[in-house]
Amino acid sequence: MAASPTLRRRRLAAELRRLREDAGLTAKEAAAQAKALSPDRSWFESKVTRIETRKILKVRDVDLLTLLDVYGVTDEEQREAYRRLAREASLSGWWVGYRDVLGAGTLIDLETEAARIRTVEGQYIPGLLQTEGYARAVISNGGITDESERERRVEARMMRQHILHRPDAPRLWAIVDEAAFHRIPADLVTVQVSHLINVQRADLRVQVLPFEIGPHPAMDASFLILDFDVDPSTVYLEQSMSALFHEDPLELRHYETVYDHIQAAALSVDDSRRWMAQFIESRT
């Protein structure tokens, strides 16, 4: 499984905060002790806080070792484990080469190490399940007129789907509102919807949320829930100008509840496959 630098940063930050709290120190007290131990005079409360809140993306080895000294971590194996975690948190994934069109690429980063992905999509076919033609149409209709940029975005989206073909592929369960199907360009319906039918397997399922169920709790927001083997889950919400990640347990519980309600209201997997086959027939 590919390592996710974002997850490693989350884990490192959480571990350093835990060590500080176990040592009975405030961030201000930890900074004062770090300044006394280190020739580097840049230690202030804000620096400790920025490390713990991941505002500092790459924690220097010298700073990490200083904090471990302050927190009383003397076991060499433990210290080396934290150093390895910090090094992994500083690595870059393949998506860095597409930063001009992907931005930080945090979602792609997290997807690489997700054990399970649950998604509810209201307007589009989920990115991990888009065909190349459909992805190109969506990106073009999103206002990307430069051909080179459009093709780089399509290429990146297709590369993102490689996680589904790994031996350790995440389990993916997508719930797609009927509205998304009606927005597929007519000439792409057969290929895109057939792909949704054929791509399914034991650990990759698609359910359709039909119009007939009426209003539902996810009408105002599509979202993904990413679950990991070790790290806490996170919720991703994509908006037209920004992307939000929610890690607070209360927020996570809210979206999991919404997901459970939506899944219960959606057609079953088998009925969804039949619905999609009939949808293709109705459009050809």
Q: According to the 3-state scheme, what is the secondary structure of the chain? A: CCCCHHHHHHHHHHHHHHHHHHCCCCHHHHHHHHHHHCCCCCCCHHHHHHHHCCCCCCCCHHHHHHHHHHCCCCCHHHHHHHHHHHHHHCCCCHHHHHHHHHCCCHHHHHHCCCCEEEEEECCCCCHHHCCHHHHHHHHHHCCCCCHHHHHHHHHHHHHHHHHHHCCCCCEEEEEEEHHHHHCCCHHHHHHHHHHHHHCCECCEEEEEECHHHCCCCCCCCCEEEEECCCCCCEEEEECCCCEEEECCHHHHHHHHHHHHHHHHHCCCHHHHHHHHHHHHHHHC
> Quick check: pTM over 0.85?
no
The predicted pLDDT at position 193 comes to 98
Which overall architecture, per CATH, does domain 100-283 show?
2-Layer Sandwich (3.30)
The predicted pLDDT at position 141 comes to 85
Residues of the chain with pLDDT under 50: 1
State the Cα–Cα distance between residues 185 and 254, nearest whole angstrom.
34
CATH class belonging to 5-89:
mainly alpha
Q: Where in the chain is the domain with CATH 3.30.870?
A: 100-283
The predicted pLDDT at position 244 comes to 80
Q: Where in the chain is the domain with CATH 1.10.260?
A: 5-89
The predicted pLDDT at position 87 comes to 87
Residue 259 token pair: 């997901």
The predicted pLDDT at position 94 comes to 65
The predicted pLDDT at position 61 comes to 92
